Amino acid sequence: MSAPLTDAVIAALARLVDDSQSTTGSRQPSHSEIEDQFRRAGLLNADPSRTLGRPVGKAKRVRGVLQWAIEHDVEKGERLVHLIVALVRGVGGFREGSPNFVGAESIQDLREAFESEGYQLSETGELLPVVLDTLQGTALTDALKAYVRRARRGVLDAALITGTGKDLVEAVAAHVLVRRFGNYSHNDNFPTLLGQAFVAVGLCAVKKNSLTAEEQMDLALYDLACAVNRLRNRQGTGHGRPFLPTVTPAQARFAVQSMGLVAARLLDVLP
C-alpha cells in the first residue's frame, strides 16, 4: 500500500503529527510509534534524529525522512505516507472529540494535497485512489495527469489505472478518443487503439519514407509504448495486474517511466 509523495503532501503530513499544533500538549502518535513506521518503510536511516545525533520534533522527523525519500527512494516514501496516515487514523487523529484530533484545517490541507494527485481522503482518514470510471471530461484528464506524474517518477502502481482494468497508456488513449469522437471500440487491440489516439491528436504513428524530427520522435514513442505493452502481455498476468518478478525492478521502473512519457505526450496535445 502506498500514497502519493509530493512537497504539498510532506508539508501537510508533517502538520498532522506536529505537537505544536495541539492545544493540549503532546498527543499520539508518539515518537516511538512514528519511528516504527520509518522502520516498516525501510527509511530509518533517513531519520534526522539519527543523522543529527540529537532529539528532533515529530514534524521535523517526518518531514526530514519524506524529503530524503522524495529525492532518493520515492517508492519507500510513498509507503511511509500511507503508513503515517493509517497510524494517525488508528490513534483517533481524524475523529473530532478525540484527544489526538489533528484539527479540521490540517485535515483539509492534507485532503487538498491528495486530491491534486488523484486520491481521496475521507472524513475518517481512509485514503483511496479516485476510481476513474466515475470521472469524465476535464476531471478525468486531471486525474490521468496525476497518474502520469507518478509514472514519470517510476512509481510502479501508477502503471495500473484504478477501476478501469487498463494500464496507463491504454486508459489515456481511450480517453483521448472519447474526448475527440465521443466513443472508441473496446474490441481494438492495443496498437490499434494507441495508433487511433495518436492520429486523433495529430501525432505520427505510421512509418513513412520521410519524417520530420518531430514525427520521428512521436513514432519512437508509439513504438516504445507498444514494446512496453508486449512486455506486460508476455511477462505479466494480464490487464489490471502488476509486472511479474521475472521482470527486474530496473526494467519495470523504466517501463513505467516510458508509459508516463507516452501518456504525457498524448495529454499535452489533447485540445
The x, y and z cell numbers of residue 13, run together, are 503530513
Q: What is the amino acid identity at position 138?
A: T
User: 23: which residues sit within 8 A by CB, 6+ positions away?
Assistant: none
Amino acid 156: pLDDT:
75
- Spatial separation of the C-alpha atoms in residues 246 and 248, rounded to whole Å: 6
- Spatial separation of the C-alpha atoms in residues 132 and 213, rounded to whole Å: 35
pLDDT single digits (tens) 221-253: 999 999 988 877 544 444 444 566 677 888 888
Confidence of residue 24 (pLDDT cuts 50, 70, 90): low
pLDDT single digits (tens) 93-144: 999 999 999 999 999 999 999 988 888 999 999 988 887 777 888 888 988 9
Please provide the average confidence, as pLDDT, over all residues in the chain.
87
Amino acid 89: pLDDT:
96
- Spatial separation of the C-alpha atoms in residues 259 and 132, rounded to whole Å: 18
User: 24: which residues sit within 8 A by CB, 6+ positions away?
Assistant: 99
pLDDT single digits (tens) 193-216: 999 999 999 999 988 888 999 999
What DSSP line would sit under the chain, residue for residue?
Answer: ------HHHHHHHHHHT-GGG-SSS--SSPHHHHHHHHHHHT-GGG-HHHHSSS---HHHHHHHHHHHHHHH-HHHHHHHHHHHHHHHHHTTTTSTTSTT---HHHHHHHHHHHHTTTEEE-TT--EEE--GGG--HHHHHHHHHHHHHHHHTT-GGGGB-TTTS-BHHHHHHHHHHHHHHS---TTS-HHHHHHHHHHHTT---S--SS--HHHHHHHHHHHHHHHHHHHHHHHS-STT----TTS-HHHHHHHHHHHHHHHHHHHHT--
Q: What phi and psi values does residue 155 have, to the nearest 5 degrees?
A: -80, 120
Average pLDDT over residues 82-98: 95
What is the CB neighbour count within 10 angstroms for residue 20?
9
Separation in Å, CA 234 to CA 66, 71, 151: 36, 32, 21
pLDDT single digits (tens) 146-157: 889 888 888 777
Contact 232, 240 (CB under 8 A): no
Q: What percent of the chain has pLDDT over 90?
A: 59
Amino acid 21: pLDDT:
60
Amino acid 122: pLDDT:
92
Amino acid 164: pLDDT:
59
By the 10 Å C-beta count (0-12 exposed, 13-18 middle, 19+ buried), 3 is classed as buried
The domain segmentation of the chain, as residue ranges, is 7-129, 134-268
- Which comes out higher in pLDDT, residue 271 or 268? 268
